[in-house]
Amino acid sequence: MKTPLSIWMNEHASVLGTEQGRRRAVLLALSLSENTPLAPHPYEQLLLEQFVRGELSLEQVIRDLELRGHY
């Protein structure tokens, strides 16, 4: 079953296809979660930085978070 996030990713793949697009998406998410319980912890921030640089796909980030019980 596809999650809402995976559906969004498929529809907006071109946005996430560049480092600039990934950075903008992450900055938007960070601004929405700032000063809330959803704000990322240091390990989650590390994963986001790797995603922005293109070292990890969003699917890999999510899988890693699920395996570690962060998601």
What are 5-54's pLDDT values in tens digits? Answer: 667 667 766 778 889 999 998 999 999 999 999 999 999 999 999 999 99
**Torsion sign, CA atoms 10, 53, 48, 71:** positive
pLDDT confidence of residue 17? 85
Number of separate domains in the chain: 1
Q: Tell me the mean pLDDT in the region 44-66.
A: 93
Q: Which long-range contacts (CB under 8 A, 24 or more apart) does 52-56 make?
A: 52/19, 52/22, 52/23, 52/26, 53/19, 54/19, 54/22
35: left (phi over 0), alpha (psi -120 to 50) or beta: left
In a domain, 19, yes or no: no
In a domain, 27, yes or no: no
- 11 and 3 in contact (C-beta within 8 Å)? no
Please check the confidence at residue 2 and state whether its pLDDT lies above 90.
Answer: no
In a domain, 8, yes or no: no
pLDDT confidence of residue 56? 95
In a domain, 51, yes or no: yes
User: What is the extent of the structural domain holding 70?
Assistant: 40-71
Confidence category of residue 71, pLDDT binned at 50, 70, 90: low
In a domain, 30, yes or no: no
